[in-house]
A and B are shown apart, each in its own frame.
Chain A
Amino acid sequence: MKSLFWKELRQLAPWGALLFAAMSALMAGSLYSESEKYYYSLYSQAWFQVWLVIVFGAPCTAFVIGVLQTVLEVRRDQWAFLLHRGLSPTQIFLTKAGAGLAVYTAATLVPTSIGFTWCAWGGIERNPLSWYHALPLLASFLASMAFYFAAILAVVWKGPWYLSRLLPLVAPVLMVVGAVAYASDVTEYVPARIFAAIILAVGVLGVATWGVFVRSGEAEGRSRAANICLGIPVFVAMFGGCLCLFAVAAAAYELLAARWHLHQPWYARPYTGVTVDRDGHILQVTTVPIRDSRRGARQFQRIDDLDEPQSTRYAPLVGQEMSTTNSVPAWDPLPMAHVRESSQPFAFLKRSGSPPRILEQIGGRAMMQKSSLTWVYSSADGWIYGYLQEYETRDDGRMRPIPPRLVEVVGPDGFVSASQRPPRRFGKLLANTGYRHDRLAYDAWPELSRVSGVAARYCLLFEDGLFVIDAPAHAVRRLLVPPAGRKIRCLTKLGDAVAVVYDDSISVHTAMPIIIGTRQDRETATTVDESIDVPGDLQYSFPIPPEVAQFGSFSFGRVPGRDAMMFQIGPDLSTFNSNRFIETRLDGTIVRSRDVLNPGIPTEEAPPILSAMAIFAPPAPVLATAAFDEFRQVVRGTAPGACARLFRRMPTQMSLVAAILIGSALFCGWSAGRTARRYGFDVRTRRAWQWTAAALGPAALLTLWFLRDWPALEKCLACSNRRPVDRELCPHCGAPAAPPRSDGTEIIISEPAHKVAALA
């Protein structure tokens, strides 16, 4: 094995050196070019460039190495020379893969490590760099290994047609995109389970590649484990393909329907939402866009009081324009405050209470001023770092940034100089007024849209308190301290009051304005103070019932007439597209709980998109989810479930959807069984494919069709059916294949052979 390993390394060395040089050049070039971009946002730090290089460079490198290692040897005689030696094909594969991954590691991880270490050492810009920053790099590096195996599969695997060899590439692409999206949108603190998932996915592709390699790419004799592992990426590709097909079909349907006026275009359709009024009544409100309205205004089409169906209270509003603030006369919805787990799109992948991003920007950078201070919070350190950004004027008169300088560090106890570190650290940062893309901050301080960009003081909400960082005065003031043993979850506006949301309770305070900056009024040419509201005196507090606390996001409001709290959860995946309303007394006792399906587009206007989706959907998971929801709702006493309610509301369309779903399952199961019978699969394999295709739908059926190079079919001389050429016996009649035609000129004088196991 050693000699084969060295041979592989020798063979790959020139290519590896080339790839190493390319990665190094890319790294050096991107880091060098970064020196002109100090004034960019938080991501301008050099580390981001290192990450970008590995995100794009590592998959390309892995793919190129995988192709180079096999494409030169896959030709008939080379392949025979490689495989025919005193090593098992598995040993040969492991040796090759070991050498290939070693070269991949050297070509990608070495330049990346150098770049990262350089950034950690100081780099161009002295932004705080934590060793946690290495986690996204590691995740990208590991995820890109999948490209190595996918490349070998693309070369060695004999798929049913040439382009099908590219199918295993889809899964690595999704993996890398997922890893990148996770690190860029959720958090750079990539948890162990994400690494485990990446390693598992790479392992699946590795096993598939092993199975294909040792059988020289042919399906015959491939192990069951390898078949399953090859089936997974092919299924992923097929499922993705089905989704794309659906999207294209839906888009085409929309275009054609609009062109031929089959129904109203999506933007002109009525929409039904659910809300609560000040009496605590749940209302179902249907609005419709006003034709030719350039403002996109809508008007009330229908308002149903679900708690008092006979009520005609809102009848006068029908036909009236609904302004964007919902403040037409007699329209009186309950003011609700919003609690969000996170504003990040992949937040559902993150456990509640997991660390935030490593670096949070506090305050925007002033571009091209003579000098400016940039504040960056490092959650790894728990301190805020202040960098002085200065510019110099070039000979041509243009200003050029020079590397920023760390001048101050801020902790809960105040400011210290760059050479010192504060004695205590901040906790998890929840919201800050200095970063204009922070949605949680906008929930807490809606007035930020007015004051953003003019702030000289920053208001920062941490789990352990609300702080005001007064940079000009070099002071840190703590405005709110959570009760002992409690952590703040978020701050939100409830009408004119400010609500502090803890894990298990909510405190409502009066709003206390504090000045965070000044701006110049252009009309009056005077200086105007800009303020935001922070919690003042405590008005009342109430517990969050566990039925609500389990959800990351919800809304709440106080019903004035009944002195009760109304919580609204959903509609989203966690509530199966339902709005869940839970009404409690101020002591937390639940008065009532009601689930209202989010109708969205009403029955009569709903397009047949749902039916189209049912064609491609995997039937078993859909049906299992519906059954689970029904079971859960029965257990909770809120039956019927979402599907049953949909059936009641839209019986025709839902029947069609169910029929398509069941029809799709039956067709896929039947078709898989027919294919399996036609090609003489054994009963166990045939049944496995039948059930899999029935359960997972068209994607599974396509996976079966694309998983192997199918043998030709020839006419059986015994039964006249078409039989696969790779079966000893005809699957239809059990007859053996016809022997070659004899013409009496054969000369066969072979000595009798004794029976051995292989031939028995």
Chain B
Amino acid sequence: MTDFVIRSQNLTRYFGRKCAVDQVTLSVPRGSVFAVLGRNGSGKTTLIRMLLGLLSPSRGTGEVLGCSSAALTAAVRSRIGYMTESHFVYGWMRVRECAAFQAGCFPRWNAKVFNSVVDYFGLDAEAKAKNLSRGERAGLSLALMLAPEPELLVLDDPALGLDPVARRALVEAMLAVTADKDRTILFSSHLLDDVERVADHVAILDRSALRVHCAVDDFRDRIGRWILTYADHPPVLPPIRGLIYTSVIDQALHVTIANPDERTQAELEATGAATVSRTQLSLDQAVIDYLSDRRQRTSLLTAVAQEPTLA
């Protein structure tokens, strides 16, 4: 049986009348790199904060490293590394003071790890945190997170605002961490190529609800794109199971469908298409199609082209 380091059951959070996270049930296996994806405001940060006990859920429960999120003990917290999206550190502290401050609060502090990460990012130990660039601050945050040798790393959009070099360093650090099979990473991100490179599990939050929770490969397999060509202008499609996105490119109708099965091909052919062919999607394309607005189910350009006044 799989050992899970994070589990949640119907985790829900309201801010006033707005539901930020709606009954999310997920489990993160030990040793996995788990990506939480979603559009802005979909509830990723709220979910992470609830899992770490920094925010009380309105409903539901969470569990991290076998301990209830609502009552994480100091010992359990010291086994979790957490990096916020703003890479917050006290601006008035010097780099070495940051290390001394954190070292006093984490029993398994490894100064070698801290120094090696700091050296990798080329940080001056005497520099004040407020004078560091965003990338350097991310490096400092990463060093502060890794030095306590946590079993579980939780990173909330760690690459936000970083330049490509800093991003690469961050990804490499994550890969290095996962070399130890017992370590687990849960991170949220908008950078899908990074996700594709490091993640083996993915969860997608869409409008507060968990829509996808599976291995990355499974997700790729479960999202299919078909190209339909017609003799004439593509017609308006009838309801098709699992349809998530359509777009018209060069008179061909590109259709993205979730959870396709053996009947999908037949349903598409029944629309009167001259040819129906399936293509492979990258994770990047699959996620973007998946997160497109379901109410429209069509691309903006297609919608504009179909407007009678503009057509």
Given A80-B52, A218-B56, A748 and B74 contact (CB-CB distance below 8 Å): no
Task: Judge if A749 is at the interface, Cβ distance under 8 Å.
Answer: yes
Given A3-B105, A748-B213, A759-B61, A80 and B67 contact (CB-CB distance below 8 Å): no
A85 touches B105 (CB 8 A): yes
Task: Judge if A130 is at the interface, Cβ distance under 8 Å.
Answer: no
Given A727-B59, A747-B214, A750-B27, A87 and B74 contact (CB-CB distance below 8 Å): yes
A 72-121 contacts with B by CB, 8 A: 76-81, 83-88, 91
Q: How far is the CA of A216 from the CA of B258 in the complex (A)?
A: 40
A 702-755 contacts with B by CB, 8 A: 711-712, 714, 725-728, 737, 739-740, 743-754
B residues sitting closer than 8 Å to A (CB atoms) are 1-2, 4, 7, 9-10, 12, 14, 16-17, 19, 22-23, 25-27, 29, 49, 52, 54-63, 66-70, 73-75, 77-78, 80, 82, 84-86, 88-90, 92-93, 100-107, 148, 208-215, 218-219, 222-223, 241-244, 258-259, 290, 294
B259 touches A747 (CB 8 A): yes
Q: List 29 A-B residue pairs with CB atoms under 8 Å apart, sorted by A's residue number.
A: A2-B104, A7-B90, A80-B52, A81-B84, A83-B54, A85-B105, A86-B148, A87-B74, A216-B55, A221-B70, A725-B14, A725-B19, A728-B60, A740-B23, A744-B258, A745-B244, A747-B211, A747-B214, A747-B223, A748-B210, A749-B215, A750-B25, A750-B213, A751-B4, A752-B1, A753-B27, A756-B7, A758-B69, A759-B7
A758 touches B106 (CB 8 A): no
B78 touches A81 (CB 8 A): no
Min CB–CB distance A344 → chain B (angstroms): 50
Closest to B219 in A: A747
Closest to B55 in A: A216
A91 touches B259 (CB 8 A): no
Given A7-B90, A745-B211, A759-B63, A85 and B77 contact (CB-CB distance below 8 Å): yes
Min CB–CB distance A714 → chain B (angstroms): 8
Given A737-B12, A747-B212, A749-B213, A80 and B56 contact (CB-CB distance below 8 Å): no
- Chain B residues with Cβ below 8 Å from A726 are 14, 58-59
Task: Judge if A184 is at the interface, Cβ distance under 8 Å.
Answer: no
- Chain B residues with Cβ below 8 Å from A751 are 2, 4, 27, 29
B78 touches A86 (CB 8 A): yes
Closest to B202 in A: A747
Closest to B154 in A: A84
A712 touches B82 (CB 8 A): no
Q: Which of A4, A86, A758 contacts B68 (CB 8 A)?
A: A758
Interface footprint category on A: 35 or more
A712 touches B14 (CB 8 A): yes
Task: Judge if A638 is at the interface, Cβ distance under 8 Å.
Answer: no
Task: Judge if A281 is at the interface, Cβ distance under 8 Å.
Answer: no
Task: Judge if A11 is at the interface, Cβ distance under 8 Å.
Answer: yes
Q: Which of A4, A220, A749 contacts B218 (CB 8 A)?
A: A749
1/0 contact string of A470-489 vs chain B (CB within 8 Å): 00000000000000000000
Closest to A219 in B: B56
Task: Judge if A263 is at the interface, Cβ distance under 8 Å.
Answer: no
Q: Which of A220, A725, A750, A758 contacts B63 (CB 8 A)?
A: A758
Q: How far is the CA of A727 from the CA of B57 in the complex (A)?
A: 10
Min CB–CB distance A7 → chain B (angstroms): 5
A750 touches B106 (CB 8 A): no
Task: Judge if A215 is at the interface, Cβ distance under 8 Å.
Answer: yes
Closest to A95 in B: B105
A4 touches B213 (CB 8 A): no
Q: How far is the CA of A25 from the CA of B215 in the complex (A)?
A: 67
Given A3-B100, A4-B104, A80-B54, A86 and B213 contact (CB-CB distance below 8 Å): no
- Chain A residues with Cβ below 8 Å from B2 are 751-753
- Chain B residues with Cβ below 8 Å from A78 are 88
Candidate in B52, B59, B75, B290 with the most chain A CB atoms within 10 angstroms:
B59
B102 touches A85 (CB 8 A): yes
1/0 contact string of A230-269 vs chain B (CB within 8 Å): 0000000000000000000000000000000000000000
- Chain B residues with Cβ below 8 Å from A85 are 74, 77-78, 102, 105-106
Q: How far is the CA of A688 from the CA of B209 in the complex (A)?
A: 37
Q: How far is the CA of A215 from the CA of B212 in the complex (A)?
A: 31
Closest to A753 in B: B27
List 12 extra interface pairs beyond A80-B52, A216-B54, CB under 8 A: A1-B104, A4-B105, A80-B54, A81-B84, A87-B77, A88-B73, A745-B258, A748-B214, A750-B213, A752-B1, A758-B63, A758-B69
Given A725-B59, A751-B2, A759-B61, A86 and B84 contact (CB-CB distance below 8 Å): no
